[in-house]
């Protein structure tokens, strides 16, 4: 569900990107038309990645409904071998990114921190043609190179 203005940021676990359809349904009363595009082989994600992806999509939809004047939003979920790439793009006014209040855990600063804790990254900003986009890359694969071992 999209957060209300005076609602605290949730801290309990939530469903992940595979169940983002519930977020889409909750965006309708806010006046948003939301389309989801999924690419790659969907897979179960580690719980921290699952939660971060869900919260980033949730916060992005909340921001689009509250601040941008958007009517349409596209959510893109791309499952790679070692990371989930997600993007939430709206057709709103493209307001410049503003950091969240310190310690608030919401807004762009909170989404950035969620990504960073997982070793990922997040970018957010206005699009040249109008609108706003949040992009996150959340690693979940093993990227270590095998090491040679000597059994002498």
Q: Residues 48-91: pLDDT tens digits?
A: 999 999 999 999 998 888 888 888 999 999 999 999 999 999 99
**Can you give the residue ranges of every domain in the chain?**
17-131
Q: Give the CA radius of gyration of the chain.
A: 17
Architecture of the structural domain at 17-131: 2-Layer Sandwich (3.30)
Q: What is the pTM of this model?
A: 0.76
* CB 2, CB 63: distance < 8 Å: no
Euclidean distance between CA atoms 80 and 68, whole angstroms? 30
- The string of pLDDT tens digits covering residues 101-123 is 334 446 899 999 999 999 999 99
Euclidean distance between CA atoms 141 and 120, whole angstroms? 12
């Amino acid at each position: 569900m999209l957060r209300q203005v005076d609602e605290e940021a949730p801290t309990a676990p939530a469903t992940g990107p595979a169940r983002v359809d519930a977020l889409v349904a909750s965006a309708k009363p806010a006046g948003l038309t939301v389309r989801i595009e999924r690419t790659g082989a969907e897979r179960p994600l580690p719980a921290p990645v699952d939660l971060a992806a869900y919260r980033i999509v949730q916060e992005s939809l909340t921001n689009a409904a509250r601040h941008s004047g958007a009517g349409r939003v596209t959510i893109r979920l791309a499952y790679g071998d070692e990371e989930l790439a997600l993007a939430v793009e709206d057709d709103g006014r493209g307001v410049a990114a503003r950091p969240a209040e310190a310690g608030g855990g919401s807004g762009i600063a909170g989404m950035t921190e969620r990504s960073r804790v997982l070793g990922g990254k997040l970018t957010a900003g206005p699009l040249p043609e109008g609108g706003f986009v949040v992009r996150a890359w959340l690693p979940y694969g093993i990227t270590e190179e095998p090491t040679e071992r000597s059994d002498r």
